[in-house]
Amino acid sequence: MLGIFDSGVGGLTVVKELLRRHPSSGFIYLGDTARTPYGNKSAETIRRYAVEDARFLVDKGATTILVACNSVSAVAMDELRKEFPTIKFFEVITPAVLSATGKKIGVIGTRATIGSGVYERRLKERDPNVEVISQACPLFVPLVEENWINKPETKRIVRTYLEPIRRQQVDALILGCTHYPLLTKVIRVSLQKRVKIIDSPSALMDTVEREAASELVDGTQKYYFTDPSAATDAIATKWLGTMIKGVRAELA
Amino acid sequence: MLGIFDSGVGGLTVVKELLRRHPSSGFIYLGDTARTPYGNKSAETIRRYAVEDARFLVDKGATTILVACNSVSAVAMDELRKEFPTIKFFEVITPAVLSATGKKIGVIGTRATIGSGVYERRLKERDPNVEVISQACPLFVPLVEENWINKPETKRIVRTYLEPIRRQQVDALILGCTHYPLLTKVIRVSLQKRVKIIDSPSALMDTVEREAASELVDGTQKYYFTDPSAATDAIATKWLGTMIKGVRAELA
């Protein structure tokens, strides 16, 4: 069975992409809303949380796990694979790196993701001559979670953060955080038209369809949160366009 | 011994006010940076975290505890007093309510604090005819933690959030979150000049000096964080104007 986890609601963009392609696919989602966000916490703390999150999904029967969180994908994959050797893990960084073509690539993400340097390292492994321009955008997650998607204040903050990337005239921009696809329209107008925007949920689902098609089978869809609330249900319902009622997850 | 806790770094504004008045006063500070922020989490989760935080301080020898977090003060005081009957607790709401004079009072805070309605209830207990205008400002905490104190984007967001309060021509504004005093200058210019701004660290310290003067004795000053990091040390050092090195706290 397919398990999907994230620090909070951001990973629901992965669920959204999964459901767009396979509306009846079964899965369990875990959002660690009691400890969200992860992106400004230390690598050590993120690793501990990631193992606890994955253990919850494994105990519920997950055999393939999508790590729908760039911060976890950036710092905790070795830990997860060591702790759960029989589970097949997919993370969000490799698929985005493989989709990003061009000589100059921009990457935006949380402080943890950008600070880890993982995108730059992976992009250079693929093409040692690529130029990478990285920018941490720590205010994007709270803006998305407040649903300030189309506010003038948000447009201005996006423009401020993206200015160094716009100046460098990149060929592609990787949205290195699962929250960011919700800001795509605003990001789009802050960059030159020809810039290819790569969002990780879509790149991830390409990979899953290729490498784990047998897991994409019809089944029940269940949403767990470590701090379920009316606010979380409301944001999930709005993003996914269908009524969501989260269930409390008690992590071991 | 004096213990002080908060969901993260915001409570350091209470430490700052304590040290301004009593530079050599001994205390232990706990910031739950591994689970910060609390303000957008459920009351049930905040209560559980508050008890764990207080237990850490009590185990370290605290006999008087300053709850330097409005969200905890709003929803968890009954829990704390029941769980630790021999400990003297001070919270940040009552002192601010007692300082706010006038017929029309504005209150700003996190979603948890404003949603609890605690300020409105307490202000009306004191004066049933008072008019209270409340506004949740959930983006202020991330803006402060990013140190975007003087940015034009921040000024614009502050103006947007405060507009309903400005229109109502309040007599006083309670900054119902320990992070907000760092935004005082920006808040000041978004309101009429005559508005009295009440910040909880200063109101809290007035109360502590009055009711627990015997706890204000010289001693060691120690900072614990559940997720200590260079970033946390940097923000603490900057705010307090003295080199801070946080120690890891393991909560039971």
Q: Cβ separation of B42 and A146 shorter than 8 Å?
A: no
Contact residues, chain A, for B160 at CB < 8 Å? 151, 153
Specify the 3-state DSSP secondary structure of A10.
coil
State whether A139 and B148 contact (CB < 8 Å). Answer: yes
B94-200, what's its fold?
Rossmann fold (3.40.50)
Q: Do the Cβ atoms of B157 and A153 come within 8 Å? A: yes
DSSP state of B45: H
Which CATH number, 3.30.1130.10, 3.40.50.1860, 1.10.1040.10, 3.30.70.1290, labels domain B2-91+203-248? 3.40.50.1860
At residue B97, the pLDDT reads 96
Residue B112's pLDDT is what?
87
| Residue numbers in A near B150 (CB within 8 A) | none
pLDDT of residue A40: 85
| Tokens 């660290």 found at | B201
pLDDT of residue B146: 85
pLDDT by position in tens, chain B (length 252): 999 999 999 999 999 999 999 999 999 999 999 999 998 899 999 999 999 999 999 999 999 999 999 999 999 999 999 999 999 999 999 999 999 999 999 999 998 899 999 999 999 999 999 999 999 999 999 899 888 999 999 999 999 999 999 999 999 999 999 999 999 999 999 999 999 999 989 999 999 999 999 999 999 999 999 999 998 999 999 999 999 999 999 998
- Out of B35, B142, B146, the one facing A35 most closely (by C-beta) is B35
- Of A111, A196, A189, the C-alpha closest to A154 is A189
* Closest approach of B149 to chain A, Cα-based (Å): 13
Q: Which of the residues of A are catalytic?
A: 69, 177
What is the model's pLDDT at position A129? 96
Residues of B in contact with A229 (CB under 8 A): 41-42
State both tokens at B249.
């706290």
CB contact under 8 A, B42 and A227: yes
Shortest CB distance from A153 goes to which of B111, B160, B231?
A: B160
pTM: 0.92
φ, ψ dihedrals at B150, nearest 5°: -110, 15
Q: List per-residue pLDDT tens for chain A, 252 residues long.
A: 999 999 999 999 999 999 999 999 999 999 999 999 998 899 999 999 999 999 999 999 999 999 999 999 999 999 999 999 999 999 999 999 999 999 999 999 998 899 999 999 999 999 999 999 999 999 999 899 888 999 999 999 999 999 999 999 999 999 999 999 999 999 999 999 999 999 989 999 999 999 999 999 999 999 999 999 998 999 999 999 999 999 999 998
Q: Does B160 sit within 8 Å of A156, measured CB to CB?
A: no
Comparing CB atoms, the residue among B35, B142, B152 nearest residue A139 is: B142
Structure tokens at A78: 């070795």
Q: In what order do the strands lie in the sheet with B196-199?
A: B131-136, B104-109, B172-176, B196-199
Q: Do B157 and A160 touch (CB under 8 A)?
A: no
Span A216-241, pLDDT tens digits: 999 999 999 999 999 899 999 999 99
Q: CA A2, A6, A10: angle at the middle one, nearest 5?
A: 115
Clarify whether B177 is annotated catalytic: yes
- Among residues A55, A83, A65, the alpha carbon closest in space to that of A28 is found at A65
Closest CA to B68 of B105, B31, B109: B31
Neighbours of A156 (CB within 10 A): 17
Numbered residues of chain B with Cβ closer than 8 Å to any chain A Cβ: 33-35, 40-42, 45, 111, 138-139, 142-143, 145-146, 148, 151-153, 156-157, 160, 226-229, 231
Contact A13, A240 (CB under 8 A): no
Contact B133, B107 (CB under 8 A): yes
DSSP B97-144: HHH--SSEEEEEE-HHHHHHTHHHHHHHHH-TT-EEEEEE-TTHHHHH
Using a CB–CB cut-off of 8 Å, the residues of A that contact B are 33-35, 40-42, 45, 111, 138-139, 142-143, 145-146, 148, 151-153, 156-157, 160, 227-229, 231
Tell me the nearest-neighbour CA distance from A137 into chain B, angstroms: 10
Contacts of B45 in chain A (CB under 8 A): 34, 227
> Which of A9, A42, A46 should one mutate to test binding to chain B, selecting the residue with the greatest count of B CBs within 10 A?
A42
| CA angle in degrees (0–180, nearest 5) for B232-B252-B249 | 25
Same topology, domains B2-91+203-248 and B94-200? Answer is: yes
Whether residue B178 contacts residue B10, with contact meaning beta carbons closer than 8 Å, is answered with: yes
What span, in angstroms and rounded, lies between the C-alpha atoms of B55 and B51?
6
Contact check, Cβ <8 Å, A139/B146: yes
Residue ranges of E strands in B110-195? 131-136, 172-176
Tokens 């502050």 sit on residue: B158
DSSP state of A197: E
Q: Where are the domains of chain B?
A: 2-91+203-248, 94-200
CB-CB: which of A34, A138, A146 is closest to B41?
Answer: A34
Q: Do A231 and B146 touch (CB under 8 A)?
A: no
Give CA–CA dist B111/B126, Å, rounded: 23
Partner-chain contact B152 A156, CB within 8 Å: yes
* Residue B79: partners with Cβ closer than 8 Å, 6 or more residues away: B47, B50, B51
